């Protein structure tokens, strides 16, 4: 291709060369944990779209809780498959990085391909993944899902998790913990 830019890292002066080596002190900029981390749009329980504002402190609180509840560590491998426009992607990215675990990025659209997810989970030894229950149901019906022996945690949210689906997970993946969370966007991802 003719429109490709090649950057030789050995000889090129990077764009960040003139930048400070450390981050600025947020307090000198007037930033606090009460500042917004993001605004995400949801219809919630009302059916009317609205922007839910989440502060940094709420996200940090959520990540601290998740770590206390599920104890991710440096040997874990987390599958990041949630499109970044959804709040669940927040914990997929930041919980993983905060705890020094490995983050495996699924190809765009892979969240819609159960066969690709099974292959990715097996090949990358994924230990932690998130599914909304309707996607988990399709995933559980996929050939080879019982070979996903590395899966230690399945986190569900966004929809009601049926007892029938929970029983299917326990039957097919008995070594895997199934964690059912309720997902009000306003509560910093889910609770």
Distance of CA 122 to the CA centre of its chain: 18
What domain range is 87 assigned to?
Answer: 71-187
Domain assignment present for 126: yes
* pLDDT score recorded for residue 183: 65
Dihedral angle, C-alpha 33, 35, 37, 41, nearest 10 °: 140
Residue 75 lies in a domain: yes
**Residue range 31-45: average pLDDT?**
83
Residue among 130, 121, 119, 78 at smallest CA distance from 99: 78
pTM of the predicted model as reported, rounded to 2 decimal places:
0.81
Domain CATH number, residue 101: 3.40.50.980
Is 115 within a domain?
yes
Of 2-16, 25-39, 46-60, 90-104, the one with minimum mean pLDDT is 2-16
Q: Is residue 102 part of a domain?
A: yes
- Number of domains composing the chain: 1
Structure tokens at 114: 């159960």
From CA 149, how far away is CA 176, in angstroms rounded? 8
Give the pLDDT confidence of 92-122 residue by residue, as tens digits. Answer: 999 999 999 999 999 888 888 999 999 999 9
Q: Is 129 inside any structural domain?
A: yes
pLDDT on residue 161: 94
């Amino acid at each position: 291709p003719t429109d490709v830019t090649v950057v030789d890292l050995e000889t090129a002066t990077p764009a960040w060369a003139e930048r400070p080596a450390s981050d600025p002190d947020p307090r000198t900029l007037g930033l606090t944990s009460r500042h917004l981390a993001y605004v995400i749009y949801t219809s919630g329980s009302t059916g009317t779209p609205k922007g839910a504002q989440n502060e940094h402190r709420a996200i940090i609180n959520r990540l601290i809780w998740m770590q206390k509840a599920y104890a991710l560590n440096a040997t874990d491998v987390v599958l990041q498959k949630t499109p970044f426009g959804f709040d669940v992607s927040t914990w997929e990215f930041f919980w993983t990085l905060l705890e020094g675990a490995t983050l495996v990025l699924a190809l765009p659209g892979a969240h819609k391909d159960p066969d690709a997810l099974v292959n990715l989970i097996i090949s990358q030894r994924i230990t932690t993944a998130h599914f909304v229950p309707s996607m988990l149901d399709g995933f559980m019906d996929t050939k080879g899902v019982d070979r996903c022996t590395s899966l230690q945690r399945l986190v569900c949210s966004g929809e009601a998790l049926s007892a029938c689906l929970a029983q299917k997970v326990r039957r097919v993946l008995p070594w895997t913990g199934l964690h059912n969370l309720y997902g009000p966007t306003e509560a910093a991802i889910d609770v």
